[in-house]
A and B are shown apart, each in its own frame.
Chain A
Amino acid sequence: MRELNEAIFYRWIEEVWNQGKEETVDELLADQAIVDYPYHIEKKLIHGRDEYKNFLRVIRGLFFNINIKIEQIVADDRKVIAFCSVTADRRRVEKNGGPVNIPAKTSGLCQMIIEDGKIMQAWCNIDIFGKSELKTSGVSG
């Protein structure tokens, strides 16, 4: 079971995030799944496949060439957690200018609860903006 859960995690990262395949969301995410992903100042949970696909479109609209690599993974018969490195290009529209692509590099840890081959619940801590946003805000701690 542990190996199967790890395989689901690897497939999720590769197909959903690196390739943007929404059909894999339908296949692997339970329709009643809850995902806690810190992408908004207010705590908002993602419920189910449709909300997740919408979230995926938002992020993939902001970032291009997303490449997530699993660096470390821990799994038991029900839970999987992986530490991942992330590279992507972020598109930003400059004042008085056109869009520019800014390379971003960051990392994250994600936990999934998997039952009967479906992702039931997930928590992700990935700084989707990369550390550069903190730097440009003058925050360095």
Chain B
Amino acid sequence: MMQEETVLHRWFDEVWNNKRESAIDELLAADSIHHGLGGPEGQVMRGTADFKQFHRAFLAAFPDLEVTVEDVVSDGRKFVARCTVRGTHTGEGLPIAPTGRRIEFTGIGMCIYEDGKFVEVWNEYDFMKMYSQLGVLSLNLE
């Protein structure tokens, strides 16, 4: 496994599964750019401070959050992880009150890793499914 792929696993293990906020500073560039996490307007999130705010809110909503890395792909400069996210909505942190419901959804993140830190990340997680599982949205195309 390439060093960068190991770092990708470390990111999900330490930042999300072990919920260690200090790992964000260790792995994320201070001026990093995050696409796909900034809410329905699609705003770009910048830097570790913005990411930490998102991290705290999401873990507050899902204190038992667990991310499983299903696959990693790399071309030497860009790295991609396909993940499954699981948790229970027992806390504040989302725009809706805790529902006690279980969530399970998938997502893919593509990142550029330079000089030992992630500098730009594109995220596409299935938040539509998450909100559907929480009972906020009804999705049915059939």
Contacts and interface: CB of A to CB of B under 8 A. Distances in A.
Interface of A: 2, 36, 38-41, 58, 62, 72, 74-76, 79, 81, 83, 105-111, 123, 125-127, 129, 131-135, 137-141
Contacts of B75: 2, 74-76
B129 A41 contact: yes
B80 A111 contact: yes
Interface residues of B, number: 42
B45 to A, nearest CB: 13
B35 A141 contact: no
Contacts of B35: 107
9 contacts: A40-B141, A41-B138, A74-B110, A110-B108, A111-B73, A111-B108, A123-B108, A132-B40, A133-B137
B43 to A, nearest CB: 10
Given A41-B140, A74-B74, A133-B137, 19 more contacts: A38-B105, A40-B139, A41-B129, A41-B138, A41-B139, A72-B122, A83-B124, A106-B42, A109-B80, A109-B124, A125-B107, A125-B125, A125-B126, A131-B40, A132-B40, A135-B41, A137-B137, A139-B137, A141-B93
Contacts of B39: 131, 140-141
Closest 3 interchain pairs by CB? Answer: A109-B108, A125-B124, A109-B124
